[in-house]
Amino acid sequence: MSVSRVYRYRPETRLVHAGTLRSQFGETSEALFLTQGYVYDSAAQAEARFKGEDPGYQYSRFSNPTVSMFETRMAEFEGAEAARATATGMAAVTLALLGQVRSGDHVVAAKALFGSCRYIVEDFLPRYGVTSTLVDGTDLGQWRKAVRKNTKTFFLETPTNPTLDVLDITAIAEIAHAAGATLVVDNVFSTPLWQSPLTLGADCVVYSATKHIDGQGRCLGGVILGSEEFIQKHIHMLIRQTGPSLSPFNAWVLLKGLETLAVRVRRQTDTAATVAVALADHKKISRLIYPGRPDHPQVEVVRKQMRGGSTLVAFEIKGGKRAAFRFQDALKLVRISNNLGDAKSLITHPATTTHQRLTPAQRAELGISDGLVRFSAGLEHPDDVVNDLLAALEAA
Ligand SMILES: *Cc1c(COP(=O)(O)O)cnc(C)c1O
């Protein structure tokens, strides 16, 4: 089989072609290799395969041709030397952190994290003697002050969930590197189309492929990207031996999802920007946050590190939880869901769902008020989406 490596082409072209492994049948669409194992031509070949002297596959917990295609396509799109796919985004986050630390180490992370990520840093790692400090990610002084002698890694997501703050990846990477630590960036909210953390100085990027990479609400998946050295040193053995592998079927769905990623994310970003314009000055909305608007709190950082806005818009409805619930219940097209990046437009009330686990004080600290909702733009006609949101605001 031959592998296409297509670095010379632009990112959108790589999304369609990179990593394709074409079998002897010459199929146009990538094949789904639904197999657990592989057979060998001889005992000597099996021995050589296990010694790493013969290239090829051994067992699908380690690697699989369809999963490899997804990994190569992701790596070439992201501009990373290496990638490893995982069963979920949380497996990617957990391994990216766990792989780097030992008992006695310390992690610094931004407070505004996806709920499960915050659990890993705050509750899970400490069980194994890995302490952590949570900081306001937009305040560079807090990152600097949090560094200790035993700090191994920094972790952040940007834009943040759900308030869409934008953190300065380059500046935070410099602080991490000066401390002898690495920086891991969860790039889900910006998508690989609009932001390239490795180019900005990060050492590792993680995705929940469940979101825009699938983009049509079907499969869970994740991916970890970095230099060959980073992946070999921290991730390679851990994934193989602990087994959070991506199934070939899900890898195939995600691989085909990548082919349409740029088209979808552009359209979703345009719709989100249209929604932001339509709702910004609405009398029932007290605050609207959209990276790409001139009134975004980190407008300079957005300009410096993002190539596009966001597929998400956050806004606060006057009247707290009651008004936010009435608004959500009055929507006819936009569906209530905690997911994002789907073909279907979705609305979330973070205070009672994704961020319910936090105390009211912790939510207040993150700007997650009872009236705040997070909108994820789908692929419907933008006018239908805007009309649905405006009609539901009338009812709120
Ligand atoms: C969804 C999400 C995750 C977790 O991904 P799963 O695929 O659900 O495990 C991690 N980080 C961010 C920012 C997410 O949106």
pLDDT (tens digit, 9 = 90+) per residue, 173-187? 999 999 999 999 999
Query: Does residue 112 line the site of ligand 1, with CB under 6 A?
Result: no
Burial class (CB in 10 A: 0-12, 13-18, 19+), 81: middle
Q: Which residue owns the Cα nearest ligand 1 atom 5?
A: 89
116, 155, 166, 337: which to mutate for ligand 1, most atoms within 8 A of CB?
116
Q: Is 186 in the pocket of ligand 1 (CB under 6 A)?
A: yes
Calculate how far, in angstroms, residue 114's C-alpha sits from the geometric centre of ligand 1.
7
Residue 158 Cβ inside 6 Å of ligand 1? The answer reads no
pLDDT, position 2:
56
Amino acid in the structure at residue 25: F
Indicate whether residue 203 lines ligand 1 (CB < 6 A).
Answer: no
What would the pLDDT profile of 255-313 be if each residue is shown by its tens digit?
999 999 999 999 999 999 999 999 999 999 999 999 989 999 999 999 999 999 999 99
Among 150, 149, 268, 290, residue whose Cα is nearest residue 215:
268
State the Cα–Cα distance between residues 72 and 75, nearest whole angstrom.
5
* Cβ pair 236, 84 in contact under 8 A: yes
As averages over each run of 10 residues, the pLDDT of the chain (396 residues) reads: 70 94 96 97 96 94 97 96 98 98 98 92 96 97 98 98 97 98 98 97 98 98 98 97 98 98 98 98 97 95 96 98 98 97 98 93 95 98 98 93
Q: Which CATH number fits domain 262-395: 3.90.1150.10, 2.40.50.140, 3.90.320.10, 3.40.50.1000?
A: 3.90.1150.10
d(CA 183, CA 252): 30
Ligand 1 contacts CB of residue 117 (under 6 A): yes
| pLDDT (0 to 100) of residue 4 | 64
157 — phi, psi (to 5°)?
Answer: -125, 145
CATH: 3.90.1150.10, 3.30.465.10, 3.30.470.20, 3.40.640.10. Which one for 11-257? 3.40.640.10
Residues of the chain with CATH 3.40.640.10: 11-257
Displacement of CA 2 from its chain's centroid (Å): 30
Q: What is the pLDDT of residues 308-338, one digit of tens each?
A: 999 999 999 999 999 999 999 999 999 999 9
> How far, in Å, is the centroid of ligand 1 from the Cα of 115?
9
Determine the pLDDT at residue 115: 87
pTM of model > 0.75 = yes
Residues of CATH 3.90.1150.10 domain(s) within the chain?
Answer: 262-395
Q: Length of the chain in residues, anyone?
A: 396
Residue nearest (by alpha carbon) to ligand 1 atom 2: 208
Give whole-number Cα distances, 28 to 14, 34, 67, 232, 267, in Å: 15, 18, 17, 32, 26
E-strand ranges in 44-110 read 82-86, 106-110
Q: Could you tell me the distance, in angstroms and rounded to a whole number, from the CA of residue 55 to the centre of ligand 1?
A: 33
Structure-block tokens of residue 239:
């994934």
- What number of other Cβ atoms are within 10 A of residue 273's Cβ? 21
Query: Which of 208, 213, 223, 253 to mutate for ligand 1's pocket (most ligand atoms within 8 Å of CB)?
Result: 208
**For residue 376, what are the contacts with CB-CB under 8 A and spacing of at least 6?**
268, 311, 312, 339, 340, 341, 342, 345, 346, 347, 348
Instruction: Measure CA of the first residue to CA of the last residue in the chain; give whole Å.
Output: 58
State the pLDDT at residue 396: 84
Q: Is 210 in the pocket of ligand 1 (CB under 6 A)?
A: yes
C-alpha 333 – ligand 1 centre gap (Å): 24
Query: Is the CB of 185 inside a 6 Å radius of any atom of ligand 1?
Result: no
Q: Which amino acid residue places its CA nearest to atom 6 of ligand 1?
A: 89
